[in-house]
C-alpha cells in the first residue's frame, strides 16, 4: 500500500522519510534521516542545494535523504510546474536527475526549459510536458504541501533531522546532522 | 502533540500574561487600509486566526505572512478568516502587502501604538513591537488557542491547523 499524508496521519510521517511514497537517496535504515521540504524556484533552496550535496558525500551510507515539494506559488510562479516536471521525470525513473537540473538552473524554469532538461536526460519530453500541463502530479504535490504545513514547515527550505525541525542556518546543517548521529 | 502547542502562556519577558484558551477575545477596531477599518466583531460566526508579528519586511522566503498567504486555501477550508497585525502604519502595510501579493488584511496597531497587542498581552515594551503571537478565535469570539513564538522563529501553521481541526470537531460533535 502506498503511504499517504492525509488527515489523521501520525506526525512522524510528516517529518520523517516515508519509504513507500517519498523520493529517497540513501538507505531508509540509515541512522540519520533528513527530510527536506523545498521549492525549485526558491533562492534559499538553491543556496542549500550544494550544501545538501556536500552533506550527502560527507555522510555517505549514514544518511537517508528525502525531498518533498513545498512550492510557494504566489512568490514563485514557476515553482509548481518545476515540481510537476520533477514528478513527471520521476514517473520515467529520473526524479533526482531532474531535481538536480532544476536546482542548478533556477533562473530557467519556463516550459521550454523543462522540455530541454527532459531531452537532456533522455526522457520522453513530449510526455513530460503533457503531464506537467495536465497537472498529472498536482495531487501528489498538494499532499506533500499539506503534509508539510501539518508537520511544521515554516518556509523553504525546511529540513527535518530525524523528525525534528531544524531551525538553524544551512551552513551549520552538517554539524547538526553529525550531532544527530552521535 | 505538536511541539508548537507545548508552549507556555507567558510571553518570554514574563511581564504580562498572554490571553489564552477560554478567554473572550477583546474586540479590535483598526485600520486595514488608509481609509478602511476592520473590527473583529464583523467576523463573528466564523473562526478567526489573529497573527501578531513584529514588523513588515522581514526576509522573503522565511517570512511568516508570505507563508500564510500561500496556505490561505487551507484556512479557508475551515471557513477561517486570517488577519495579520503589527504596529506598522497602513501605508507601510499597503506597500508590504502589494510587494508580497498578500490576499488577506493587515491591521495597523499604530495609534495608540501597540494598544491591541497590549490588550492581548503580547506587546514588547523594550522593543516597541508585538511578539510573534498567534490566536485562534472561535465563531463566538472566544479564544480557543494561543501561542507565542520565540521572536526569531517563524512558527509555521501546524498549531493553527490543529486548533481549527479541533473547532471543526467540536462543531460536528
Query: Could you report the predicted ipTM of this complex, rounded to two decimals?
Result: 0.85
Sequence ranges of the domains in chain A: 33-181
Q: Tell me whether A46 touches chain B (CB under 8 Å).
A: no
Average pLDDT rounded to a whole number, residues A17-27:
93
B171 pLDDT tier (thresholds 50, 70, 90): confident
pLDDT, residue B128, reads 95
- Asked if A11 has any chain B CB less than 8 Å from its own CB, the reply is yes
Which pLDDT does position B59 carry in this prediction?
66
Q: What is the mean pLDDT of chain A?
A: 93
CA distance A56 to A27: 12
Residue A111: all three cell numbers together: 516550459
The percentage of chain A sitting over the pLDDT mark of 90, rounded to a whole number, equals: 86
Pairing of strands B48-52, B106-108: unpaired
**Alpha-carbon distances, residue B100 vs A10, A72, A166, B89, B96 (angstroms):** 33, 11, 25, 16, 6
Number of inter-chain CB pairs under 8 A, A vs B: 59
| B28: pLDDT strictly greater than 70 | yes
A44 chain-B contacts, CB cut-off 8 A: 61-62
Burial class (CB in 10 A: 0-12, 13-18, 19+), A100: middle
Q: What is the pLDDT of residue A8?
A: 57
The residue of chain A with its CA nearest to that of B3 is A152
Find, among B71, B98, B94, the residue nearest to B82 by Cα. B71
Q: How many Å apart are CA A100 and CA A91, to the nearest integer?
A: 16
Give the pLDDT mean for A43-56. 96
- Identify the pLDDT of residue A3: 64
Q: Please tell me the distance from the alpha carbon of residue A131 to that of residue A127, in angstroms, as a whole number.
A: 6
Q: Is the pLDDT assigned to residue B11 strictly greater than 60?
A: no
Contact status, residue B32 vs residue B24, Cβ threshold 8 Å: no
Asked if A147 and A66 touch (Cβ cutoff 8 Å), the reply is no
Between chains, do B156 and A146 touch, taking CB under 8 Å as contact?
Answer: no
Nearest to A140 by CA among A100, A94, A90: A90
Among the partner-chain residues B74, B100, B153, the one whose CB lies closest to the CB of A149 is B74
Split at pLDDT 50, 70, 90, the class of A181 is: confident
Pick from A74, A163, A53: which is nearest to B73 by CA?
A74
Which run of H or of E encompasses A117? Answer: helix A111-120
Alpha-carbon span B168 to A14, nearest angstrom: 21
Q: According to the model, what pLDDT value does residue B5 have?
A: 39
pLDDT digits (tens, 9 = 90+) for B41-70: 999 999 999 999 999 997 655 689 999 999
Three-class DSSP category at B14: coil
Cross-chain Cβ contact B101/A75 below 8 Å: yes
In this prediction, residue A103 carries a pLDDT of: 98
How far are the Cα atoms of A13, A86, A152, B56, B71 from residue B85, in angstroms, in the given order?
33, 37, 21, 10, 17
Name which of A11-20, B9-18, B136-145 the model is least confident about: B9-18
Q: Is the pLDDT of residue A6 over 70?
A: no
Closest partner CB to B2 (pick from A74, A152, A154): A152
Instruction: State the pLDDT confidence band at A9, using cuts at 50, 70 and 90.
Output: low
**Could you tell me the CA-to-CA distances from B101 to A72, B19, B93, B164 in Å, in that order?**
12, 31, 11, 25
Q: List residues in chain B touching A: CB distance below 8 A.
A: 2-4, 60-64, 66-67, 69-71, 74, 100-101, 103, 153-158, 161-162, 165
CATH of the domain at B92: 3.40.30.10
- What pLDDT score does B2 carry? 41
Over residues B27-44, mean pLDDT: 96
For chain B, how many structural domains are there in total?
A: 1
Query: What are the phi and psi torsion angles at A133 (to 5°)?
Result: -70, -30
What pLDDT shows up at residue B63?
84
Give the rounded percent of residues in chain B with a pLDDT score beyond 70.
88
Asked whether residue B4 carries a pLDDT value surpassing 90, the answer given is no
What positions of B carry a catalytic annotation? 61
Q: What is the CATH number assigned to the segment(s) A33-181? A: 3.40.30.10
Nearest-angstrom CA–CA distance, B30 and B85:
9
Res. B94 pLDDT band, cuts 50 70 90: very high
In 3D, which of A92, A88, A85, A76 has the Cα closest to residue A39? A76
C-alpha to C-alpha distance for A112 and B9, rounded to whole angstroms: 52
B112: Cα within 13 Å, side-chain hemisphere: 6
Q: Say whether B37 sits in a helix, a strand or coil.
A: strand
Q: What is the pLDDT at residue B10?
A: 47
Amino acid at each position: 500500500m502506498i503511504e499517504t499524508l492525509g488527515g489523521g496521519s501520525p506526525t512522524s510521517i510528516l517529518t520523517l522519510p516515508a519509504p513507500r511514497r517519498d523520493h529517497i537517496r540513501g538507505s531508509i535504515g540509515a541512522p540519520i534521516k533528513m527530510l527536506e521540504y523545498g521549492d525549485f524556484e526558491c533562492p534559499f533552496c538553491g543556496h542549500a542545494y550544494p550544501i545538501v550535496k556536500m552533506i550527502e558525500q560527507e555522510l555517505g551510507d549514514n544518511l537517508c535523504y528525502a525531498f518533498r515539494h513545498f512550492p510557494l506559488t504566489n512568490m514563485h510562479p514557476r515553482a509548481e510546474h518545476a515540481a510537476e516536471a520533477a514528478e513527471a521525470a520521476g514517473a520515467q525513473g529520473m526524479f533526482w536527475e531532474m531535481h538536480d537540473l532544476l536546482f542548478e538552473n533556477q533562473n530557467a524554469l519556463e516550459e521550454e526549459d523543462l522540455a530541454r532538461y527532459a531531452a537532456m536526460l533522455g526522457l520522453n519530453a513530449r510526455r513530460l510536458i503533457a503531464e506537467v500541463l495536465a497537472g498529472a502530479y498536482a495531487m501528489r504535490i498538494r499532499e506533500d504541501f499539506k503534509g508539510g504545513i501539518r508537520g511544521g514547515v515554516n518556509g523553504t527550505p525546511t529540513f527535518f533531522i530525524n523528525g525534528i525541525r531544524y531551525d538553524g542556518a544551512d551552513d551549520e546543517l552538517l554539524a547538526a546532522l553529525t550531532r544527530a548521529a552521535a | 502533540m505538536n511541539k508548537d502547542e507545548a508552549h507556555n502562556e507567558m510571553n518570554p519577558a514574563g511581564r504580562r500574561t498572554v490571553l489564552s484558551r477560554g478567554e473572550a477575545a477583546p474586540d479590535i477596531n483598526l485600520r486595514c487600509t488608509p481609509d478602511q477599518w476592520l473590527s473583529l466583531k464583523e467576523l463573528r460566526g466564523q473562526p478567526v486566526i489573529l497573527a501578531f508579528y513584529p514588523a513588515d519586511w522581514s526576509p522573503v522566503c522565511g517570512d511568516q505572512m508570505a507563508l500564510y498567504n500561500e496556505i490561505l486555501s487551507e484556512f479557508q477550508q475551515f471557513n477561517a478568516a486570517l488577519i495579520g497585525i503589527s504596529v506598522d502604519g497602513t501605508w507601510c502595510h499597503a506597500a508590504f502587502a502589494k510587494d508580497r501579493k498578500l490576499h488577506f488584511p493587515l491591521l495597523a496597531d499604530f495609534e495608540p501604538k501597540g494598544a491591541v497587542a497590549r490588550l492581548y498581552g503580547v506587546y514588547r515594551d523594550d522593543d516597541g513591537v508585538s511578539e510573534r503571537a498567534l490566536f485562534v478565535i472561535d465563531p463566538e469570539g472566544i479564544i480557543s488557542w494561543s501561542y507565542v513564538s520565540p521572536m526569531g522563529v517563524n512558527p509555521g501553521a501546524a498549531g493553527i491547523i490543529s486548533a481549527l481541526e479541533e473547532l471543526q470537531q467540536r462543531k460536528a460533535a
